[in-house]
Structure 1
């Protein structure tokens, strides 16, 4: 499809990508009543889903996937959940393995290309009676959604549309960006959280991971080399990035899918703006606002542009 012209115009002080990113990630607050459901996965592990509902019984559902070290209560997840609820659509906010406040049971956990759990959640929703399902992901969760849609020949008919926001669809390039000086604060924050959880894993699974290996991790690439790649069957970090980047799967997406990546998102490399792929796939829409940072699309009156666009896009493309 042709590249979409964005109408996003933030308040002046949120034109700065750093300010919009930090405000949205650390300061924004959303009040939402959620009910947690724990489902058992085929390998014996568990997944926690935080549900919220529209006032009237609905057969429509938005499944929301968070970013790296996020969870189902982060404002960038509960915000769209609330907006969809107010428009007659239930919401399932998925907590990736180990992200719901309790470590998962297995040594492996989640990563940017782990789509099997999303497939399980979708099937679970269908069995609950939802006949119109939309998908929305932020950052890592967005990459998972795009890979899920493009790596398989068919998706369930109930899945009608998808939205991917601030998506690092070229994982190698995005990883390099996160290691630059401009992103040091983000890099160090992510690494601190990941290492805290990995130290707990190491104590539970010393046969898989030595304390010395954990202590050797100084960067996010080190983390992906020492843990992510080895725990999930990849040769090394670059093998993981190459096989799990959603960019290569975009040509095969067969349902209406919107990508919103801000041009001032400091996490994204040039290849994370898939212009060619969008022009060659009639189901793929690409919007590249000048502002927005990383999932910081703050609009007037503190609404969020990407959340409004997601609702519009999903409703427009319901078949």
Structure 2
């Protein structure tokens, strides 16, 4: 088990976690090769619902590894990190796929549920289907933010049996202590910028869900919700079997099960991540012998932009996928 092996230095013109987060998401270069092209498939879920899976169309050898990316809150295959990992996969000859959590592919799902940070059973059946459909390919998985917590929670729950499905996993900028992250995003600048951004898509989708399933929750109460704590209390927690937000954040967090992980696992968290307080990050004592911790001082939330081109602009976000992807490949 190691720590601080990701050597990252933020560009001088992007001081602080918020700048590094926002630039990476809005303005940084995402790929050096051609933009990824996708083939979409619809998978029926075990409970009669569906998810949409985007598979990159670049060439890969029949026995090359398959890299599966689980996106973050309200993310998709169009998110900057998903595109950057697609660029890494194409450059290294890897097959690459992005399964969308329910309701995140551009079409609302059918069931009276959505997705959540601790949905390890969803991770399990997705990975099992990838393994079944790609028996000649070693399977690698990376989860970003919410997707990383769910992936690490899966590995902790599965323990040794996870090694039968995947060769290695990684979590990037994941709030492994959901309560710490949830409270942090509901305060100050985070509340004004990030909470408003997430609520701007989550609330309309929840209202669509109410149209599908009248009586699922109280519309007026949801419209009055002003942060993720209130939203999770009214929507996420009760729809997915949790008593309330506190119960959800406690039971869904991956940090308490890190010591049970047996597959090679990497957790990368910048210590200036505005969503994930540094004091909440796992320590060597929290993580088991299979878990590697990278906790650089800078990077923001899924940021890690790097200077590139004349005068250090416009900057790119390939450094993080390169480091994480090469770590995953080194575990094969």
Name the TM-score, length of structure 2 as normaliser. Answer: 0.91
Q: Distance in 1 between matches of 2:84 and 2:62?
A: 19
- Map of 2:19 onto structure 1: 19
| Residues 160-217 of structure 1: CA deviation (Å, up to 9, x unaligned) | 1111110100001111101110312111111121111111112221121232222231
Q: Counterpart of 1:115?
A: 120
Residue matched to 1:294:
301
Q: Deviations over 1:104-162 (max 9, x none)?
A: 00110100011222212211111222431111111001101100100123115240111
Are 1:134 and 2:140 an aligned pair? yes
Say which of 267, 284, 288 aligns to 2:291.
Answer: 284
Select which of 199, 204, 209 maps to 2:207: 199
CA contact 2:4–2:296 (8 Å) conserved in 1:
no
Query: What CA RMSD, in Å, does the superposition of the two structures yield over aligned residues?
Result: 1.6
Alignment of 1:36-47 (within 5 A): 36-47=40-51
Q: Distance in 2 between matches of 1:56 and 1:294?
A: 30
| Contact 2:259 2:289 survives alignment (8 Å) | no
- 1:95-244 → structure 2 map (5 Å cutoff): 95-130=100-135, 131-153=137-159, 154-184=161-191, 185-244=193-252
Tell me which moved more, 193-202 or 165-174. 193-202
State whether residues 260 and 306 of structure 1, in contact with CA within 8 Å, keep that contact through their aligned partners in structure 2.
no
Q: Do 1:84 and 1:91's aligned partners in 2 also have CA atoms closer than 8 Å?
A: yes
SS at match of 1:137: strand
2:311 aligns with none
Indicate yes or no: 2:320 matched with 1:306. yes
Whole-Å separation in 1 of the counterparts to 2:242 and 2:326? 38
SS of residue in 1 equivalent to 2:53: strand
Structure 1 ranges of 4+ moved more than 4 A:
none
Residues 37, 58 of structure 2: 8 Å contact kept: no
Once the 2 structures are TM-superposed, how far is the Cα of residue 49 of structure 1 from its aligned partner? 0.6
Q: In structure 1, how many angstroms separate the alpha carbons of the residues matched to 2:200 and 2:59?
A: 40
Cα deviation for residue 306 of structure 1 reads 1.6
Structure 2: segments with no counterpart, 5+ residues? 309-315
The number of residue pairs the alignment matches comes to 317
Cα displacement (A) at 1:25: 1.7
Gaps of 5+ in 1: none
- Describe how 1:46-65 pairs up with structure 2 within 5 A: 46-59=50-63, 60-65=65-70
In 1, distance between residues paired with 2:119 and 2:152?
11
The alpha-carbon distance between structure 1 residues 260 and 20, as it changes in their structure 2 partners (threshold 3 A), is: same
Match of 1:72 in 2: 77
**Match of residue 6 from structure 1:** 6
